[in-house]
Amino acid sequence: MTIQAAISLATPIALLATSHDESAAQIAPDVSLGRAGSPEALDALARRCSMLTFDHEQVDPGIMRDLEAAGHTLRPSARTMAIAQDKSLQRALFQREGLPVPPWQQLQRAADLAEFARSHGWPVVLKAARGGYDGRGVWVADSQPTAAALAADLLAAGVPLIVEAWVPMERELAVLVARSPSGGLAVYPVVETVQAGGICREAVAPASIDSELAQQAIEIATTIATTIDAAGIIAVELFLAGGKLLINEIATRPHNSGHLSIEGCCTSQFENHLRAILDWPLGSTELLAPAAAMVNLIATETAIELPSRLPRALAVKGAHIHLYGKEMRPGRKVGHVTALGAGIEAALTTARTAAALLMEELEGTISEDQRPLNDGW
User: Which of 86, 316 has the CB closer to ligand ATP?
Assistant: 86
Residues 202-261 that bind ligand ATP (CB under 6 A): 237, 248-249
Told to check if 137 binds ligand ATP by CB under 6 A, we report: yes
Question: Which of 294, 284, 293 is CA-nearest to residue 342?
Answer: 293
Of the candidate spans 2-10, 25-33, 136-144, 154-162, the one that interacts with ligand ATP by CB under 6 A turns out to be 136-144
Q: State the residue number with the nearest CB to Mg ion.
A: 237
CA-CA distance, 368 to 377, in Å (whole number)? 20
Binding test (CB under 6 A) with ligand ATP, winner from 6, 13, 138, 342: 138
Told to check if 167 binds ligand ATP by CB under 6 A, we report: yes
CB 333 within 8 A of CB 300: no
Told to check if 198 binds ligand ATP by CB under 6 A, we report: yes
User: Which of 91, 275 has the CB closer to ligand ATP?
Assistant: 91
Told to check if 125 binds ligand ATP by CB under 6 A, we report: yes
For the bound state, the minimum distance from the C-beta of residue 52 to ligand ATP, rounded and expressed in Å, comes to 21
Length of the chain: 377
Of the candidate spans 48-56, 163-171, 344-352, 363-371, the one that interacts with ligand ATP by CB under 6 A turns out to be 163-171
102 binds, among ligand ATP, Mg ion, none (CB under 5 to 8 A by kind): ligand ATP
Residues 84-123 that bind Mg ion (CB under 5 A): none
CA-CA distance, 59 to 55, in Å (whole number)? 10
CB 321 within 8 A of CB 335: yes
For the bound state, the minimum distance from the C-beta of residue 200 to Mg ion, rounded and expressed in Å, comes to 8
User: Which of 32, 300 has the CB closer to ligand ATP?
Assistant: 300
| Residue 27 CA, distance from chain mean position | 22
Number of chain residues interacting with ligand ATP (CB under 6 A): 19
Range list of β-strands (E), the chain: 15-17, 31-33, 104-107, 124-128, 138-141, 161-165, 171-179, 185-187, 191-196, 199-205, 232-241, 244-251, 291-298, 320-323, 333-341
Told to check if 194 binds ligand ATP by CB under 6 A, we report: no
Residues 228-247 that bind Mg ion (CB under 5 A): 237
For the bound state, the minimum distance from the C-beta of residue 66 to Mg ion, rounded and expressed in Å, comes to 29
CB 161 within 8 A of CB 107: yes
195 binds, among Mg ion, ligand ATP, none (CB under 5 to 8 A by kind): ligand ATP
Dihedral over alpha carbons 154, 159, 164, 169 (to 10 degrees): -90
Residues 65-104 that bind ligand ATP (CB under 6 A): 102
3-state helix, strand, coil in the chain (%, to 5): 35, 25, 40
Told to check if 166 binds ligand ATP by CB under 6 A, we report: yes
| Residue 169 CA, distance from chain mean position | 19
Residue 17 backbone dihedrals phi, psi, to 5 degrees: -135, 160
Burial bucket for residue 182 (CB in 10 Å: 0-12, 13-18, 19+): exposed
- Per the omega criterion (within 30 degrees of 0), is the bond before 61 cis? no
Q: Using CB under 5 A, list all residues that contact Mg ion.
A: 237
Residues that bind ligand ATP (CB under 6 A): 102, 125, 127, 132-138, 164, 166-167, 172, 195, 198, 237, 248-249
